Structures are given as structure tokens and as C-alpha cells.
Amino acid sequence: MSRHWLSACLLLLGGMAHASCDPAQTAIALDTGHDKQRYGATSARGLPEWQFNHDLVLHLAEHLLALGRRPLVLAPAGEAIPLTERGGRAAAQGASLLLSIHHDSAQPRYLQRWQYGGDERRYSDRFHGFSLFVSERNGHFAESLRFAEQLGTALLAAGLSPTLHHAEPIPGEGRQLLEPRLGLYRFDDLKILHSTPLPAVLLEAGVIVNRDEELLVQTPAFRAEVAQAVATALDRWCQAE
Ligand SMILES: [Zn+2]
């Protein structure tokens, strides 16, 4: 069976599975990327990525609740829940969709040294912006893709821009860009995406090894823009085609 044919079938199945939904009744799981111990990337000023993910997830949850939506926060206190279990937990709690929240870095070859807070830190101001990932191994690939497209479109409309550095053909990158305009990549082996029994998308909200963007992503204005974009994307995703 050709991969292309398989993809077409998955698209068809995913498309068939979707029916219109009421955004106010549709629980969206917000996965706090990484955990307190294995915290992911380190920012230009030495902060753990997990803290950025945690803070944004809480903001998203508050904002969505205020808009009458149903956010469901996964691993809010930095619990070390295996990636392969997170989606199952979300589904068991009634979620219809999973959004995994992360903040981005760059490959070691791009990192430079600087002094901050009396310590030597690593940074790269070369890249900035958001990116979105979907896995074709997810059982609801078409629905995942559709949510990612809506979220990318809403983030663009908010004035944010995508980063395309994950497509560079170098070790650690080389991801397939599905929609360059939206910073939307295919990354089949991301565990949180392919092991989730729900449509699932991973958002890298911004590049925290970038010294300016590290500050930007911590502002209430930025977090409010992302939250509004998630709400808009959910509404549009729920509209049946
Ligand atoms: Zn991460």
C-alpha cells in the first residue's frame, strides 16, 4: 500500500469523523509541555521552558473559561506524566481535542554566549515566531490538521509571525513544512501527538532563546492574543464543513 494512498484514506476517515460541535460544550485539553524536572529548553536568561508553558497554559485556561469555553489543563503542577498517557487522560476526562503548549529553541550551532544575571547564558536572536506541528500517525490526522490551520490563521490575524527554522535540512530539524505561511509542520514521531486518541496539535508559541522574544512571550498582551486565537480556532474548528 503506498504511503500516499494511506494518507488519502486517513484524511477521508478523519474528515468523516468530524461533526459540528458546540464550542461552549467542547472540552479542549491544554497540555503543559514537559514537566518540572525534565523541563525542555532553557531560555536566553536561563529560565526553564516548562515555566513558560505552565504560565501560558494557565492564562489560556483562564481566558477560555472567561469566554465560556471548556479548557482542561493537563499536568498543571509539572507532574511527570508520560507523553503516551497524556492524551488518554484527556480523552477519559471528556476532551475532544488536545493542544500541547511549548516554547521553542534553536539548534546548538546557532547559540552564542552572553552574560546575564552574573552567569554565562546561551541565546540566538536569529529566529522568532510561532510554529505548529501535526503527526500523520495520529488517528485523527485530518481533524488535527484542520485545527492547526485554524490556529495558525488566527495567530497570523493577531499580527504574530511564524518561524520556518524547523525546515532547515540540518541534524535536529528537516521537518516537512505543510503550510509555510502558517508555520505548520508535519512531525509524525512526536509522541504527544501520535499517542493521543484525539485530534492533537503542538504549538511552539515563541522562541525563548531569542532575547527579545523571551520577554515578549511573558507579556499579558501576547498571552491574551494567543488565548483569543485558540478560542477563535476552536469556534471555526467546530463549524461543520
Ligand atoms: Zn518543548
Q: How far is the CA of 139 from the centre of ligand 1 (A)?
A: 22
d(CA 173, ligand 1 centre) in Å: 14
DSSP of the chain: --HHHHHHHHHHHHHHH-----TTT-EEEEEE-S-SSS---B-TTS-BHHHHHHHHHHHHHHHHHHTT-EEEEESTT-----HHHHHHHHHHTTEEEEEEEEEE---GGG-EEEEETTEEEEE--S--SBEEEE-TTSTTHHHHHHHHHHHHHHHHHTT--B--GGGSSSTT--PEEEEGGGTEEE-TT-HHHHT-SS-EEEEEEEETTSHHHHHHTTSHHHHHHHHHHHHHHHHHHHS--
Cα 118 to averaged position of ligand 1 atoms, centre (Å): 26
Rounded to the nearest angstrom, the distance between the alpha carbon of 57 and the centre of ligand 1 is 13
**Centre of ligand 1 from the C-alpha of residue 38, in Å:** 10
CA of residue 12 to ligand 1 center, whole Å: 31
Pick the CATH number of 24-75+85-160+173-238 from 3.40.50.2300, 3.30.365.10, 3.40.630.40, 3.90.470.20: 3.40.630.40
Tens digit of each residue's pLDDT, the chain (241 residues): 444 544 444 444 444 445 689 999 999 999 999 999 999 999 999 999 999 999 999 999 999 999 999 999 999 999 999 999 999 999 999 999 999 999 999 999 999 999 999 999 999 999 999 999 999 999 999 999 999 999 999 999 999 999 999 999 999 999 999 999 999 999 999 999 999 999 999 999 999 999 999 999 999 999 999 999 999 999 999 996 5
In the reported structure, the alpha carbon of residue 106 is separated from the centroid of ligand 1 by a whole-number distance in angstroms of: 11
Q: How far away, in angstroms, is 33 Cα from ligand 1 center?
A: 6
Domain boundaries, the chain: 24-75+85-160+173-238
What pTM was computed for the model? Answer: 0.92
